[in-house]
Structure 1
Amino acid sequence: MYVYVGKLDWFDYAKNECITVVTPAGFTLQEPVCVYWQWTVDGSGHEKANVVQEGAFKSVVKTASEYRIGFQFDYYSFEGSVSGNFGTLSLIMSNPQGDTAPISLSLKYSDSMRAPSALVFTGKLNWFEYATNEMVTLIIPDTVRDNEPVVLSYQWTKDNAGISNNNYTVRSKLQAVSTQSNGNFCAQFDDGHYTFTLHKTDERHMLSMTNPFGDRDQRESYYLTQTDFLDAKKVNIFLVIDPLAHLSYLWPRLQLISL
């Protein structure tokens, strides 16, 4: 699978917004492709509305230097190319009226897996003055167990350098994986500064976040919803920003509970 992150500009609706593309089984005809972004303001005037697009590759042509690809969702279409080393993804987004916009994305994660098994969850993230109602995309390429990969993609509303809409991608491995007999679980991953804890408690799936000082944002209890190509029953995950990194219950595979 491959995970790419870049920036989307689409007229007044998306201005310098984070966009994440996930190809769970690589670049193969009829295999799934998923695209995630948020509108700055959507057509109904809603600010920061999440967008989830799920489909399949309609065209894949391999040349000596690249892959030429195409895929279409209900309204938007994408055509473009992947570099020979898979390091960059270049797309042209279009609508039925013929409007277009270029998108450049860089590779953030890849593996040799060609069976579509990744889990993807999206929701909203708040972190003090640095992130307000920002879309967050959590990607679990395989299973929840020690040393298995995890990817978290979002943007800062304004980072500590004063840069607006700066993309931020966490590429890490799950650690401290443990489980309880009642099915509750806990796993941790970090980026060298922030510590994230994924856990399930009383039918709720939660992701907590803390910095080295133990700070937590009070705007907590944020739901993540399964939004991947599997088109399974949608399940909610709770995203809680708090410093409960000491919790020590986790289970070896993420078992999602339908609501």
Structure 2
Amino acid sequence: MFVYQGKMNWWTYAKDETFVVVLPNGPVRVGDSVYLFWKWTVDAKGVKNGNVFQTISVDSVTQTSATDVTFVLKGSWYSFTVTTKGGYENISIVMRNPQGGVSDPMPLKREWQSDKELTGTTRIWTGKFKWMNFAQDEHAIFIVPDGFGEGKPILSTWQWTKASSGKTKVPSFRAEVQRNVTGLGTDTVEFSYKSYYDIKCTWDGKKDQLDVWITEGAHSEDVGDMVRSAIIERQSHSHDLNPPDTTLTKGECELRLPQAQASLPRLLCPLPFPKGLLETLAHTAAFVDQCGYLAKYAQDHFIALDADYHKALELINSLKAEIVNLTKTRDDLIVDRDGSRSKVKNLQDALDKALKDIEQLQKEVARLQECIADDALKDAEAAKLLQKTQQELKTEQGKVAGLTKEKAELKAENDKCQATILGLQAQIITLETTIANLKAELTVKITENKNLTDKNIQLESDNGKLEGTVKDLRRELEAALARIADLEADGTKQDNRIRELIDEKSKALSNASVADQRAATAESTVAKYKKWAFKNKVVIDLSTV
């Protein structure tokens, strides 16, 4: 929530008056409500110090920079163009009316912003404020942004008619926290806060009215009763997409092995199954990811629809508030129109009476002139009477001319009021039609939300079952990979053994080759000796060798 304060200046009707603007949701979007509060120095009817509190919905938003916007508020009579500056640190407001009147830009400074999410009920009270000789018949506003409670914020601002410094129309903004809170949960809540003065507030829940007492030293005074001008019921907004858990109970049961029963319909048609465990696991993981994608898409779509739903609700509430403002303006114009008609009727009666008097005077003048012509009346008294009668005739004719002019002006004003009433009635019909259309859209979106919630729950259930299947397959994969690792280790050992046997075989073959060479050499030597012995006839007995 953002609260701004500045000065209202509008022609001769508002001169240097304290101007308060509240953005209940902080940064605005189309359809948000905005609260504006000021007072007229003197209004068009001549009434002095009349308070004005308006609730207007944001009609359009234009982004001017990364952190700032310009948005338009279209009220029942006045419209406001608001431009933020410095990331909503300040705002500038230009005020317009249907007759082409435009104000100079009115700067307002942000005096307070919430530092956390507000969850309590926001209430805004406005009324008249008086305090000794410093404030008389001034406007004041009190705000509890986060409801009642010890340590919760309390905001207030009023205007000094003449401050102790001698300056006039000085705003007095105060942001404190509630202390000594009593009566929470009842129809009477009391709290206090200190900001130079000791300020005590009592809330009457039956009237939703705030009574304010201020104490300074020994002087204590009831400064005014504030009436509730706006209320915002804030609730924490969340959605639990998981089905509720059942209550846990303790007991005994007999355990059996699970039955291989399918929780989903079995597909018996030919399917493109991959070959191998790893390929099957990869495809299973892809299907689980697809289920997760579908569940996430359903959840995101639900969140988007839910946001549109609540946005439509806010728009309906703002339109209802605008209808209330339009209805009040229409009723005021009807009262003005009826008053104008009454004035016209009174003027018409006065005009008719004056015309009758003129007619009688004209007859009297004609009669006297006829007497003068016929009887040659020269009497001075009769001539004086004739002159007096003619003077009265001129006076009455002047009155008739004035009444005729005033009647024409009142008729023009009455026609203008009637045209404004017809325009407001057309706006009310348009707004009521918009509300009916929005309610129809809400009904459709509520149905879509329910269907998406059901689908999301089913998808999450299926996703959980598939994740269980993936876990089982992953365990089988881990076992298979472990078996593969063992087999690879055995294969490595066998390869090493084979290499050793090959080396031993190569060594044996090498040794056999050497032995063969030696045997051949020995056989050659034996043959040589046999030949020598045969030639020399020497008998060699090899049986003993």
TM-score (norm 1): 0.81
The residue matched to 2:220 in structure 1 has which SS?
coil
User: 2:10 aligns to what?
Assistant: 10
State yes or no: 1:172 paired with 2:176.
yes
Q: What is the CA–CA distance in structure 2 between the aligned matches of 1:73 and 1:206, rounded to whole Å?
A: 30
Contact 2:149 2:184 in 1 (8 A): no
**1:182 CA drift (Å):** 6.4
Point out which structure has higher relative CO (alpha carbons under 8 A, 6+ apart): 1
State yes or no: 1:210 paired with 2:240.
no
User: 1:189 aligns to what?
Assistant: 193
In 2 relative to 1, CA 122–41 (structure 1 residues): closer, same or farther, beyond 3 Å?
A: same
Q: What is the CA–CA distance in structure 2 between the aligned matches of 1:132 and 1:121, rounded to whole Å?
A: 18
Aligned runs of 1:123-134 on 2, under 5 Å?
123-134=127-138
Contact 2:120 2:146 in 1 (8 A): no
State yes or no: 1:199 paired with 2:202.
yes
Contact 1:145 1:174 in 2 (8 A): yes
The residue matched to 2:230 in structure 1 has which SS?
coil
State yes or no: 1:138 paired with 2:142.
yes
In 2 relative to 1, CA 181–20 (structure 1 residues): closer, same or farther, beyond 3 Å?
A: closer
**1:39 CA drift (Å):** 0.3
**1:143 CA drift (Å):** 1.3
Higher alpha-carbon deviation: 105-114 or 181-190: 181-190
Aligned runs of 1:13-162 on 2, under 5 Å?
13-26=13-26, 27-62=28-63, 63-101=65-103, 102-111=105-114, 112-113=116-117, 117-162=121-166
Contact 1:24 1:115 in 2 (8 A): no
**1:103 CA drift (Å):** 1.1
**1:109 CA drift (Å):** 1.1
Higher helix share: 2
CA offsets, 1:181-235, max 9 Å, x none? 96433111121x1111112469564211112x13124xx473211112656x9xx
User: 1:257 aligns to what?
Assistant: none
| Unaligned 5+ runs, structure 2 | 233-320, 325-545
The residue matched to 1:49 in structure 2 has which SS?
strand
Contact 2:120 2:147 in 1 (8 A): no
In 2 relative to 1, CA 48–154 (structure 1 residues): closer, same or farther, beyond 3 Å?
A: same
CA offsets, 1:92-135, max 9 Å, x none? 01111121112110001111547895211100000011100100
Taking only the aligned residue pairs, the percentage that are identical comes to 25
Higher alpha-carbon deviation: 75-84 or 157-166: 75-84
| Unaligned 5+ runs, structure 1 | 234-259
CA offsets, 1:141-183, max 9 Å, x none? 0111011111101110000000000111011111111228964
In 2 relative to 1, CA 117–56 (structure 1 residues): closer, same or farther, beyond 3 Å?
A: farther
Counterpart amino acid of 1:129? N
In 2 relative to 1, CA 183–30 (structure 1 residues): closer, same or farther, beyond 3 Å?
A: closer
Contact 1:24 1:116 in 2 (8 A): no
- What stretches of structure 1 move > 6 A for 4+ residues in a row? none
The residue matched to 2:41 in structure 1 has which SS?
coil
In 2 relative to 1, CA 43–145 (structure 1 residues): closer, same or farther, beyond 3 Å?
A: same
Counterpart amino acid of 1:89? I
Q: What is the CA–CA distance in structure 1 between the aligned matches of 2:57 and 2:119, rounded to whole Å?
A: 14
**1:70 CA drift (Å):** 1.0
Counterpart amino acid of 1:209? I
Q: What is the CA–CA distance in structure 2 between the aligned matches of 1:114 and 1:200, rounded to whole Å?
A: 20
In 2 relative to 1, CA 22–201 (structure 1 residues): closer, same or farther, beyond 3 Å?
A: closer
Q: What is the CA–CA distance in structure 2 between the aligned matches of 1:158 and 1:51, rounded to whole Å?
A: 21
The residue matched to 1:147 in structure 2 has which SS?
coil
Give me the CA root mean square deviation.
2.4
TM-score (norm 2): 0.40
Contact 2:159 2:172 in 1 (8 A): yes
Counterpart amino acid of 1:195? D
CA offsets, 1:40-85, max 9 Å, x none? 0011111100001111111122322521111111111110211233
The residue matched to 2:71 in structure 1 has which SS?
strand
The residue matched to 2:49 in structure 1 has which SS?
coil
Contact 1:24 1:114 in 2 (8 A): no
User: 1:237 aligns to what?
Assistant: none
In 2 relative to 1, CA 105–187 (structure 1 residues): closer, same or farther, beyond 3 Å?
A: same
Contact 1:55 1:229 in 2 (8 A): no
In 2 relative to 1, CA 202–51 (structure 1 residues): closer, same or farther, beyond 3 Å?
A: closer
Q: What is the CA–CA distance in structure 1 between the aligned matches of 2:148 and 2:189, rounded to whole Å?
A: 10
Q: What is the CA–CA distance in structure 2 between the aligned matches of 1:6 and 1:148, rounded to whole Å?
A: 25
